[in-house]
Amino acid sequence: MPEGHTLHRLARLHHERYAGRPVRVLSPQGRFAASAALLDGAQFERAEAHGKHLFHVHGPDLVVHVHLGLYGGFTESEVPLEEPRGKVRMRLIGRTHGTDLRGPTRCELLTDDEVAALRERLGPDPLRADADPERAWQRISRSRTSIAALLLDQEVLAGAGNVYRAEVLFRHGVAPRTPGRDLGRQRWELIWADLVELMAHGAKIGRIDTVRPEHDPEVTGRAPRQDRHGGEVYVYRRTGQPCLVCATPVQFAELSGRNLYWCPTCQAR
DNA sequence: GCCTTATGTTCAC
DNA sequence: TGAACCTAAGGCT
């Protein structure tokens, strides 16, 4: 679940639930207990996301930074809440709803300076209005590293994960191992614009859908399919299955420890 | 029920 | 490059 669109969706939800009112902050598991005690009962000012990082601003130098990692997650329910199930790192309780956080890679209290330093290291986020895609292009256009690896580098581009990487490269017919410096500025601008649109759509509907209407299996007559991540995709996790456009079997390889999927025919460039 | 896997990152070697 | 982090779902028996 946790690519950038998920975190932006959570930021919106948490903002709607808690912003502008006092909130209870607990750590039933204990690992966040000391920080939770400092926040408990104070105002929740706002929530925002940058890439895959989520920030709960409770006040000056009182910012909870959450990174879900591979399998962290939030669950929500209405008050009154039941006893925590499993290891709940952080529990927020507002007027109408409560939110539990389990299994995050990071859940920590940061000062404003620490947040600024962290965000300084992140590349532009397609889901943020203040993003500057030129900054990413400066890195990409000077790099011999593959565009596939660069798209996952959060210092180059913040928020894209393995699904968006595979899908956006497919949609633009780009071979994953193309060096960044060979991508071309125009193609980069198209990829960025596409990420802005795809990820905004993902944040809105809560899943990753990347297949254009004309390639929808329902329309083309191919058997309908849905990956277990819940959306409709061209190549992600479709190893060996026919490409939705040209029927070539989808290829798989491991690249820097991450799973990579592509169509060797559609992505020959 | 047990095993594998995962949309991620950091750290040790 | 590999392990660790530590959760849930899916596939298998």
Place of tokens 């209405």: A78
Can you tell me the distance from the alpha carbon of A163 to that of A262, in angstroms, rounded to the nearest whole number?
11
For strand C, is any atom closer than 7 Å to the CB of A248?
Answer: no
For residue A258, indicate whether it is catalytic.
yes
Q: Which helix (H) or strand (E) covers residue A77, if one does?
A: strand A73-78
Nearest nucleotide to A229 (CA to C1') is B7
Nearest nucleotide to A254 (CA to C1') is C1
Query: Can you give the distance from the CA of residue A33 to the C1' of nucleotide C6 in angstroms?
Result: 18
Burial class of residue A106, CB neighbours in 10 A (0-12, 13-18, 19+): middle
For strand C, is any atom closer than 7 Å to the CB of A71?
Answer: yes
Can you tell me the distance from the alpha carbon of A216 to that of A68, in angstroms, rounded to the nearest whole number?
31
Protein footprint on strand C: which nucleotides are under 7 Å from a CB? 1-3, 5-11
Catalytic residue from among A24, A52, A91, A128: A52
Long-range contacts, A211-217 (Cβ 8 Å, 24+): A211/A244, A212/A171, A215/A244, A215/A245, A217/A244
pLDDT tens, A51-68?
Answer: 999 999 999 999 999 999
With a cut of 90, say whether residue A217 has pLDDT above it: no
For strand C, is any atom closer than 7 Å to the CB of A226?
Answer: no
- Going by pLDDT thresholds of 50, 70 and 90, the confidence category of residue A235 is very high
pLDDT tens, A80-134?
Answer: 999 998 899 999 999 999 999 999 999 999 999 999 999 999 999 999 999 999 9
pLDDT tens, A163-208?
Answer: 999 999 999 999 999 999 999 999 999 999 999 999 999 999 999 9
Q: Which two tokens stand for residue A24?
A: 């209870």
Judge contact between A225 and A113, C-beta under 8 A: no
Q: What is the CA radius of gyration of chain A?
A: 20
pLDDT tens, A3-53?
Answer: 999 999 999 999 999 999 999 999 999 999 999 999 999 999 999 999 999
Can you tell me the distance from the alpha carbon of A85 to that of A29, in angstroms, rounded to the nearest whole number?
10
Judge contact between A127 and A196, C-beta under 8 A: yes
For strand C, is any atom closer than 7 Å to the CB of A105?
Answer: yes
How confident is the model at residue A269, as a pLDDT?
73
- Going by pLDDT thresholds of 50, 70 and 90, the confidence category of residue A228 is very low
For residue A237, indicate whether it is catalytic.
no
For strand C, is any atom closer than 7 Å to the CB of A240?
Answer: no
What average pLDDT does the segment A259-264 reach? Answer: 96
For strand C, is any atom closer than 7 Å to the CB of A256?
Answer: yes
H helix intervals, chain A? 4-18, 33-39, 112-120, 133-140, 147-152, 162-171, 185-205, 217-220
Answer left, alpha or beta for residue A159, where phi above 0 means left and psi between -120 and 50 means alpha.
left
- Coil, strand or helix: which one is A72? coil
The residue count for chain A: 269
For strand C, is any atom closer than 7 Å to the CB of A73?
Answer: yes
With a cut of 60, say whether residue A227 has pLDDT above it: no
With a cut of 60, say whether residue A223 has pLDDT above it: no
Query: Can you give the distance from the CA of residue A219 to the C1' of nucleotide C13 in angstroms?
Result: 38
